[in-house]
Structure 1
Amino acid sequence: MSHQVRAISREEHLRFVAGRSSVSHLQVPSWGEVKREWRSASLGWFDRDGRLTGAGLVLLRPLPGLRRYLAYLPEGPVLDWTDPGLTEDLLRPMAAHLRGLGAFTVRMGPPVVTRRWSAAAVKAAIADPGTHRLAETPATWEDPRALAVGEWLRGAGWRPVEPGGGEGFAPGQPRHVCRLPLAGRSLEEIRGGLNQQWRRNIRKAEKAGVKVVRGAPDDLRTFHELYTETAERDRFVPRPLGYFQRMWAALTAEHPDRMRLYLAHHDGEVLAAATMLTVGDHVWYSYGASTARRREVQPNNALQWRMIGDAHALGARVYDFRGITDSLDEDDPLLGLLRFKTGAGGEAVEYLGEWELPLNRVLHRALGLYLSRR
């Protein structure tokens, strides 16, 4: 093996992140402080000359009653995923290191893009009654090297994880996201790429007097009230206020602009709010919330447009709307969100997905049994 994997300090990890155009916001040291129900550690990959060539944030969650762990690297680690020696030189030493920490299974999400569909391609696919998933329509762009990564992983014993989510032992990041390219485009060009509905709604918000402002830590309570209302309306379990307060404290302590909060005001009331995260030249729309009241003034479009404009002013290469469904069926409740996000001119992006490697098959099966009974 040409690389060694060992623990690195927070400072080493941050220097590595600063030396790249961007990494996922789930792969910076502060994210380990947000996920306090997990232990966290920063890992470094060192070549034969002792140079740090890769890094990753690993989250460790114990199996109930045992000091053995599920090791999870969300949207990581940050490596050269095109290296033909990937599995032998980079992933094998990682697995050995994590086994030494007590891991019984390693789960990771390679930040490798396999395919992209333009906004126009997604619109056409939705309009085609014979197309039910994005995978059924030709991609605008695809990378054969990404498919090779999947073959390397299979050959080394890694297996793809079925999409999931939630808390506890069911972590999962979206395989499909919507990203709006900003690099090399003026704000006027970006606005010109919005569909008619988006442009109309932004004008309505402006005419109605919707004002979008940046929030402070104290405004997280207002955000959370809207978020709780959104959760009740859309039938999902909301995170507690303390989670967002911890998120703000951890991320902004690492970098003052790592997390922002935006609030859309109208006639003295906050109608919508959202959080925005930044690492390098990549900006993410993280959490959104809104009330069902006065939707006709289009606060959500106004909110997103302000965030897109601020991301552009920061010099961001991409504005990431995060997860979308790959289902194109009209009865899918998430189809409207896909329309909304791609309506801004965003492209649908498919990642390689999450993969896992059992290090102790007995405990790995026990984990599966535990999850099936929850």
Structure 2
Amino acid sequence: MGKYPERLVNRCIEEGMILFDCERREGAVRACVSADDFKKLRRIIRGSECRVRLVSKKGRIRAAGALKRNAAFVTALSVAALAMILASTRIWAVRVDTVTVPEEEITEALSELGAGIGALRRSIKTSELTRVLNADTRIANAKVKLTGVVLSVRIDGTDEMPEAKSNEGAANVYADKDCVITYISVTEGRAMVKKGQAVRAGDILISGDLSDIKEGYWVYAEGVVYGETVYRASFTAEPFEERLVRSGTFQRTIAFSVFGQELFKGRPFPSQELELLRETRLTCSIIPIVVREYAAWELVPELTPDAPEGTEERARLSAQEKLDRILPKDAKIIAVSTKCKADPDGSVTATVTVTTVEKIGISRSF
């Protein structure tokens, strides 16, 4: 700022300085320069009638200076960040959700497997832990999940001794269809199957007969069992499709249109195709009436060759309709596949396979 600030700007440019964000104000010029160019101003300003005032500092150099003045804070922040990074690589909490198996036994087993508190996260293999826990005869289904620094374990379907009951009303839970067990949780009784086990319809899933453990123990077995079930349906479509075609016979018929709604005098054939012959508008009536004369062609069913794509589509749709009639309404569909096979005579067989997850247990007295 001062007299003739433009001259000072010109001298700066001649010295090779780079000025940007220049702004002309009354009696002053405001601009941004680099730190190196700012050092040149002391020499360039000599002999001029201007003076330079530093308005603000910014950029990496400014940030470095601020960090230098707060070295202790930066050091503490770096140490804290490093500690957080190192802490995130290990297990710091183990949560066990179990009803009958003591939690201490589960945590002790995890520690022996190298999955206790302080273990490295990258060394944890949840699938291996699940396999080892499921090998325990007291455990029907174990689930191990690693979320952040927390290892969660859920134990389902243990067979601790239930409350003694009389054998009146004792029952088992049976499989009502062929499937692969995906989940089992026992409320009463003892699990006879495990997750991943294939069962047939009629197999015992949860037993209410505990007399082999202690004489006189019978219970009404209860629990929730889900299984993965496969449904399959096939349909063979012939290479000919039944379509309605004109027989060559037709009759003339008349239709009246009132306010756009057609009213036919008669229907000569059960199946027909209309061909418009003539249309007349009645101008002498207050109500808009249109009279149309049609040729009603009789349509009769006839087998006509169908394209391979059409035959395949009919086979696929028919197979899907058959499958829809047998699928349980409460089943959750997890996979669908369709395979089509062309036969030498031109027919196509479509097979639709659906995999579902559904409840498969049914209680029945023994």
TM-score scaled by length of structure 1: 0.18
Point out the structure with max Rg over C-alpha. 2
- Structure (1/2) with the larger strand percentage: 2
Higher helix fraction (1 or 2) = 1
Higher RCO structure (Cα 8 Å, ≥6 apart):
1
